[in-house]
Structures are given as C-alpha cells and as structure tokens.
Amino acid sequence: MKIKCLKSEILNGIQTVYKAVSVKSSMSIIECILVDAENDRIKLTANNMELGIETYINGEIIEKGEIALEARILQEIIRHLPESEVTFTTDDNNITTITCEKSKFNIVGRPGDDFPALPDVEKKNPLTISQFTLKEIVRQTIFSISESETNKMMSGELFEISNNKLRLVSLDGHRISIRKVDLKNDYDDIKVVVPGKTLSEVSKIISGDNDKDIDVFFTDKHILFEFDDTTVVSRLIEGEYFKVEQMLSNDYETKFNINKKNFIECIERSTLLVKEGDKKPIIIDVTDESIELKISSTIGSLDEFIDIEKEGRDIKIGFNPKFLIDALKAIDEETIDVYMVNSKAPCIIRDEEENYIYLILPVNFTTVD
C-alpha cells in the first residue's frame, strides 16, 4: 500500500475514529486503526466491538492495500509531524513507513484481514434528522445517564419514535431527563436503548449544522448513524427500558414561574461555598412572591431571594445544586415553570407542551437559619 494525504486530513480522520479504539483489550487488534486503500478512497476504521466508526479522508492512492496500525502511536506520530503532505508506504512484512518532509518513521503493522469488520446493518427506512437537532437533544439529556456500569440500562438512553415524534429519555436514579421533537416525515414506531457513550461520541463528531442531516438506521441489535463521510455503528443495550411514565405525575401542590438565568446564577453562586466532593444541598423556600435560596458549609453561607410568580402552597425543599444546574442549562426558554408536591416528592420542570421534562429527586436537609 502507498498513499499520500495532507497531515490535517489524516489527523482529522484519526481523531474522528479514535473514539472507537479499545484502550485495553485481550484482542490487541482492536487497539488499532485500519487504514484501507483498497477502493477509490482512503478509509479509516476503529472498532472496539461495541462501537465502530469509519470515515473517509481525501488523499491519493498510489498503490492499493490495507494495514492495521496501533492507534495511539499512529495518532502521536501524525500529531507531531509538520503541516505538510504525509506518505504511507507498507511493505510485504507489514512494516509501514511514514514520511513527511525530513521525518521518517517505520512502524510495525498488522494485516488488514485481522481487523474485525463493522457489523452489517441494512440501510433501509432511515430516520432523517438535522445534525443540529440531534446534537441539541443529546446535549439536553446526556447528563443524567448513570456513569456506573452496575445498571447497564441506566448507562443508556431510550431512543423512541412514536406518532412521528422523537423522544430521548435518560435517568440515573436521582433524576430523569426527557426531550421530545417533532419529525418532518412519517416513521414507523421504534423503541431502542442506545449506550450513552455512543450518543455522546456522535454528538461530538457531528457539526451541529442545521442545514446538514444525519440518517439513523436500526436493527434488533444495532444502531447506525451516517453523516458527511462518516459512519458510526453501535450495539444496542438489550432489555426493556424503565416505565418512565409511571414515575411522572401532573399533580402538584405548588407551581412557580421563574427567570431561568437568575435561578442558575444564584445556584452557581451557592456552589462557591461548597468544597469539591461535599454533598451540601441548596434549600429552596417558596413563598408567595419569591423564593429564598440558602446553602451553608464550613466555608460560609449564602442567603438570596429571587422574585417568582407562584400558585399553591408554600414549600421548603432541598436539592443537589448540580442536578438543578444541569437541568436548567439544558432549557432554552427565558422563564421556566417548576412543579412541586411536597418536600419529599420530586420536583418537575417542564413546558406546557412537554417538549422537555426534568424530574429531580429532593434531598434531606437540616434547617439553615
């Protein structure tokens, strides 16, 4: 194999697929990136057997072939080369010579035949959505997946199409995030659970351009995203997702409308007084025309009022401030409605159309004077 391409092209391609490289595995081949020049275009592929990414880059194919190269070494070599044209030459012993201006590296590769192919996903009846929309709804839900692998289902997001609406749902045992958008075309109903890591990586790769679409294909075991010159394929999480509807209620004893920016800024000020790792709740005291926010720690205390419009009973309730900030930053509206039942029940932040719903469990607290 012999190919030529600009450093910027190969580096961008490596960085795109690198997210699917296995860090440590008993299969050393999946710690590699496959450089494939068998056809008319140069293709880079990484596949850790759960997530696979392939992308095409611009370049010249002088001699066809393919080689699997250790991903970490390859990325570091290319990153440190001059901004110029890079040439890859592979001999019959799988030794690949990488040259750029006066630099020359020889690295040992693996036969391309050893590299595991991406799963074969039939590309029919795709969901087509703008890259901007997908990037946004992932951003607005991904923060409430569980980081623990103990409960596999909580590490994924429900990806559901119903009545020509796309709904993403995530939860971690302390909160629930739901985002719903209208689809332009008619689609069959679909309900799958996608690993949070997959959605996170896809959202990082896509441009977020409103004028560019992404096609999403489904099988019983896989989901495939196709956009620009890149394909991402991932295993689905098997099993039935949580019955989220049973956790939500439209009943409330207290409702208030508040300026979102003021609310976030006040909560962020309160976190200045909390050392990293400390679990200090912010206490919200809701009265007729304002809410009083209090927090107390070994560093000091904060007491601040924000004007609100309120319906229903007064209530005093405590929350993890980070959970409130995460939800509020995911909402684009200037003002928000907050619904509460009592100090032991979850609060719900939602709009009237329920295009977004954020449920947050309260935490116990001792009264701050």
Smallest CA-to-CA distance from 244 within 112, 348, 130, 91 is with 348
- The band of 341, judged by pLDDT with boundaries at 50, 70 and 90, is very high
Across 29-56, average pLDDT: 96
Residue 367 has pLDDT above 70, yes or no: no
Tell me the C-alpha distance between 52 and 228, whole Å: 16
Domain 248-360 has CATH 1.10.3470.10: no
- The band of 369, judged by pLDDT with boundaries at 50, 70 and 90, is very low
CATH topology of domain 127-222+234-245: DNA Polymerase III; Chain A, domain 2 (3.10.150)
User: What's the CA angle centered on 353, arms 154 and 182, to 5 degrees?
Assistant: 75
- The band of 277, judged by pLDDT with boundaries at 50, 70 and 90, is confident
Q: Domain boundaries in the chain?
A: 2-114, 127-222+234-245, 248-360
Average pLDDT of every residue of the chain = 94
- Indicate the burial class of 125 (C-beta count within 10 angstroms; 0-12, 13-18, 19 or more): exposed
β-strands 165-171, 156-162: how paired? antiparallel
Phi, psi of 243 (to 5 degrees): -80, 80
- The band of 274, judged by pLDDT with boundaries at 50, 70 and 90, is confident
**In the chain, pLDDT over 90 holds for what percent of residues?**
87
Domains 127-222+234-245 and 248-360 share a fold: yes
pLDDT at 358: 98
Smallest CA-to-CA distance from 23 within 49, 56, 44 is with 49
> How many other CB atoms sit within 10 Å of the CB of residue 62?
13
CATH class as words, domain 2-114: alpha beta
